[in-house]
Amino acid sequence: MKQIFVCFLLYCLVSCINVDDFGAYWNKASRDPRLLGKWKRVAWPSDPSPKAAGQVLEFVNKGEAFVIRDSGQSEPLYPVKTLKVGPYDFLATGPKKGLIEQYK
């Protein structure tokens, strides 16, 4: 839990954080069923990469994780799970050499 809390604090500085290994937290992550389908990405006021705004992301179930198909990428992103830390929701790619990013 301490590692996730540190990641959360670092989120205040950047929108996306690289993670070497989620360890046991990967097994605690799940799929948020509200994400299924296609979503248009919008820029946050603090987002350092506003060029990502407008991309269409499609979330598809695959096993115990999501596959994300991005309109701007040739390769889908897999595996992707969601982590809940207090009132915040995060997307996590992994389980190793992944990233964590808050979503709303």
Q: In whole angstroms, give the CA distance from residue 57 to residue 39.
A: 5
State the average pLDDT over residues 57-66: 93
Is the distance from CB of 19 to CB of 99 less than 8 angstroms?
yes
| pTM of the complete model | 0.71
pLDDT number for residue 4: 43
pLDDT number for residue 1: 44
Question: Which among 91, 103, 100 has a CA at the least distance from the CA of 42?
Answer: 103
Domain count, the chain: 1
Residue 84 clears pLDDT 70, i.e. is over it: yes
The alpha helices in the chain, defined as continuous H runs, are 2-11, 25-28
State the average pLDDT over residues 21-25: 91
Range of the domain at 52: 2-103
Residue 19 clears pLDDT 50, i.e. is over it: yes
